[in-house]
Homo-oligomer: A and B are copies of this chain.
Amino acid sequence: MAVVEETGVASAGRRRERGGRSGLRESRGHGQHGPGVPYIIRNIPTYDILSEENLQRVERTADRILAEVGIEFRDDDAALDHWRRAGATISGRLVKFEPGMLREILKSTPAQFTQHARNPARSVEIGGKNVVFSPAYGSPFVMDLDKGRRYGTIEDFQNFIKLAQASPWLHHSGGTICEPVDLPVNKRHLDMVYSHIRYSDRPFMGSVTAESRAEESIEMTKIVFGADFVDKNCVILGNVNVNSPLVWDGTMTRALRAYARANQAAVIVPFILGGAMGPVTNAGAIAQSLAETMAGCALTQLERPGAPVIFGNFLSSMALRSGSPTFGTPEPAIGSMVIGQLARRLNLPLRCSGNFTTSKLPDAHAMNESTMSMLAAVHCGANFILHSAGFLDGLLSMSYEKFVMDADFCGALHTYLAGVKIDDNELALDAFKEVGPGNHSSAAPIRWATISPPSGIRRSPTTIPSRNGKPAAPRMRPSAPIGCGRRSSRTTRPRRWMRRSTRRCRTIWPARRRAWPTPGIKEEDADRMSAVPAGAPP
Contact = CB atoms under 8 A, between A and B. Distances in A.
Contacts of A71: 437
A245 B432 contact: yes
B427 A458 contact: no
B284 A431 contact: yes
Number of copies: 2
A180 interface: no
Contact of A361 (B57, B246, B451, B464): B464
A275 B441 contact: yes
A530 interface: no
A277 B148 CA distance: 46
A368 to B, nearest CB: 4
Interface residues of A, number: 138
Contact of A420 (B335, B358, B371): B335
Interface stretch (A221-229, A472-480, A510-518): A472-480
Interface stretch (A107-115, A160-168, A481-489): A481-489
Nearest to A397: B471
Contact of A288 (B53, B422, B432, B461): B432
Interface stretch (A26-34, A41-49, A117-125, A232-240): A41-49
A448 B143 CA distance: 36
A459 to B, nearest CB: 5
B420 A338 contact: yes
A220 to B, nearest CB: 34
A458 B326 contact: yes
Interface in A377-436: 379, 394, 405, 409, 412-413, 415-416, 419-423, 425-429, 431-433, 435-436
A64 interface: yes
A528 interface: no
Given A44-B334, A149-B471, A471-B360, A483 B368 contact: yes
A90 interface: no
Contacts of A16: none
A470 B143 CA distance: 9
B319 A459 contact: yes
Nearest to A365: B483
Contacts of A419: 49, 334
A44 B379 CA distance: 13
A89 interface: no
A472 to B, nearest CB: 9
Contact of A437 (B94, B360, B361): B94
B428 A283 contact: yes
Contacts of A58: 422, 427
A448 B281 CA distance: 10
Interface in A277-331: 277-284, 286-288, 317, 319-324, 326, 329-331
A368 B246 CA distance: 36
A347 interface: no
A443 B54 CA distance: 27
A422 B143 CA distance: 40
A98 to B, nearest CB: 17
A375 interface: yes
A247 interface: yes
A330 B375 contact: no
A463 B394 CA distance: 12
A243 interface: yes
A429 B65 contact: yes
A423 B425 CA distance: 49
A1 interface: yes
A317 B455 contact: yes
A425 B276 CA distance: 17
A22 interface: no
Contacts of A484: 364-365, 368
Contacts of A364: 362-364, 366-367, 405, 482-484
What are the nearest 7 A-B pairs in CB distance?
A365-B483, A148-B470, A324-B460, A284-B428, A246-B437, A371-B371, A2-B51
Given A148-B468, A245-B432, A279-B432, 13 more contacts: A1-B51, A61-B429, A245-B435, A276-B442, A281-B425, A284-B431, A287-B429, A333-B416, A334-B419, A334-B420, A361-B483, A364-B364, A372-B375
Interface of A: 1-3, 44-45, 47-51, 53-54, 57-58, 61, 64-65, 68-72, 94, 143, 145, 147-150, 243, 245-247, 274-284, 286-288, 317, 319-324, 326, 329-331, 333-335, 338, 358-372, 375, 379, 394, 405, 409, 412-413, 415-416, 419-423, 425-429, 431-433, 435-442, 444, 446-448, 450-451, 454-456, 458-464, 466, 468-471, 473, 475-478, 482-486
8 contacts: A47-B379, A49-B419, A49-B420, A286-B420, A330-B412, A360-B461, A367-B367, A476-B478
